[in-house]
Structure 1
Amino acid sequence: DAYGGYLTGFLGDKNVSGLFYALLPVLLVATMQRMGPKLLVLGAGSVLTFLTGSRTSMAALLCAVVWILVSPYLGRVLRIALGVVMGWFVSWA
């Protein structure tokens, strides 16, 4: 691998691999009903994304997981505030 031990797989780039491993769990969770399997898929995706070393992908996955777990319990104004805070977090990170 060209990235010093980071998980790149057949994609050959840690950032592309990070995007792949961060996006798939989020899409899979959108098709699931029960919370247990959702947490298992998100946990596996989080580990794989961390192993890529892609900080952008880790931040994006963190925001997606927070949104999936928290937003159903918030009203419209708090969802907008959460989106603004997550946008600030990603730009800061």
Structure 2
Amino acid sequence: MIISQKKICYTLDMKIKIRYFASFRELIGQGEELLTVADATRVVDIRALLVERNPRLQPIMERSVNALNHRYVPAETVLHENDELVFIPPTGGGQ
């Protein structure tokens, strides 16, 4: 008897919300957006996507911090369905 094995490949898509504040909002022209991304997408992947879509974000993105669901997170953090991602730009002032 011959049993065939089939490899099943699929991707799971998920929706995340990105909220924009301050200089991000000014450059992007909106306060938030919903993105559909692949399962296992990381914060760093979204950072790269946004800079690719709008290269003027590069200098701000390099100095911004990541907040996911109201907590600071490293760029390698994996995103999940319905996460809310915010990039917090540097604040002015000081030397």
What is the TM-score with the length of structure 1 in the denominator?
0.29
Q: Greater helix percent: which structure? A: 1
Q: Greater strand percent: which structure? A: 2
Q: Looking at CA atoms only, which structure, 1 or 2, has the larger radius of gyration?
A: 2
Higher relative contact order by CA 8 Å / sep ≥ 6: 1 or 2? Answer: 2
